[in-house]
Structure 1
Amino acid sequence: MKYLFIVSFLFLSNISLSQNRLWLSSGVKTNVFTDDFRVQGLIEGRFYDNGRYDKIFPELSARCEVTSWFKPSIDYRFVFNQSRTSYERSIGHSFRLNLNIDYDYGRFDFQLRGRYQNSFVRLSNNSGYDPDFDNALRIKPKIKYDIKGSKIDPLLESEWFYNTNYGEFGKQFVKYRLAIGVEINLPNKHELSIKYRYDYEFNVPNPWRSHVLSIGHTYEYERDNYNVEGL
């Protein structure tokens, strides 16, 4: 794992044609009331290649397992934003409604997420449209493979971003993302996700091309570890 991080970092450091990013996150998830209802809290920081932050946000989410394959969820983010082109800072709110489909076939796990996101307050008047946080529809297919006897599961995913706003650059697809990586099952209900992402913007002014190293940590808190009587 240490060597994977070093190789990924060196790879990103030597790319000069596009912007490089680093995303770091850590969170806790647990079931409440019932095994079919899960909540999660996390904090994430996204950074430019010069070390200054792009966005920092806490996120709260809730997911309900309606069936074994259909698990809708909602997310809320309180976002501290810094402009791409200056040190202008602002605060925004982002709400997401997710329709998650999950199907296992043998050792393959096929997932599809449809997301509608809405920005309560525009993050910055001068930062332009941001497909990751402003109003958008997003479609994300994902394939993960469970290697027998291994705690490391490789994955491949992609995502399309559709601008739902009216106006010159609205009502069209504006971004594509491709990601490859691994999910690592660690002891004591900890999980580590390491991904390389390539972001490709189009149909927007000054489109960005970004190479992103994403490292995420999640801890699953067992419901039986606390007393839920009376909830």
Structure 2
Amino acid sequence: MTNIESDLRDLLRQDAEPGEGAGGGVTVAGVHERARRIRRRRIALLGGVAGAGLAVAATLTLPVTGTAGSKGDVWTGVMAASSPSYGVASRSRTVLDRRFTRMGERVAFDIPRRTDRGNAAAMISCPRGAELLYWEDGVYRNALVCSGWLPYTEKKYQRGVELTVRRGSRFEVAVLPAGSVARLGRTLVTGEDAHRVLELAHRGRADMRFTVTDMWIEPCDSGPDCALAPVYPTAGTPSGGG
């Protein structure tokens, strides 16, 4: 049964029911007027649906160039156009590796300026329990004890100090026998104090090593060292599709 037939049946039923104009009769003119109103409503409704359909089609239209799948395969095109997610990887490179043996005096190293990315990590291997003073561009920084475990495979370089150094700077280090700072008789604070500790310290020789590693982060899209593996969308019809 069409919508027009249904509405006309409603018109006849209303005419027959009490309180709805019963006994007045249904005229031919009334039937034609009701049919015209039904047709106008249907035309207006179809026009609105068509406009909405064009808007949806416009949002789903994809450029043909560079997309996978056939022109009519909308979902395959959408999935192919999606960009993968990338991760990051930590990179490193040794830019300075020097061995030295002098204890009780300042030994200078020029830190290379290879890049401006991230930090440069320094490791100073020295005898266990020895005391280490260091300067950066002539300015005294701190005194530390050679007690940290270093990631060296060579057995003779197991203990030392790890530091962060500034690229392009002049780094000076003095490794002293254990107990040298205590000879000052007070807390070591200033550059003058450090100079006095050096004057009082005993000289000697030891097998030591100074290395600087340049470290940075860069994007990656694959590989075991990529921190965030790429995630590519799986092409196909989305769930819930009709």
Instruction: Specify the TM-score bucket, using the shorter chain as the normaliser.
Output: under 0.3
TM-score normalized by structure 1?
Answer: 0.20
Report the TM-score when normalising by structure 2: 0.19
More strand by share: 1
Q: Higher helix fraction: Structure 1 or Structure 2?
A: 2
Larger RCO: 1 or 2 (CA < 8 Å, sep 6+): 2
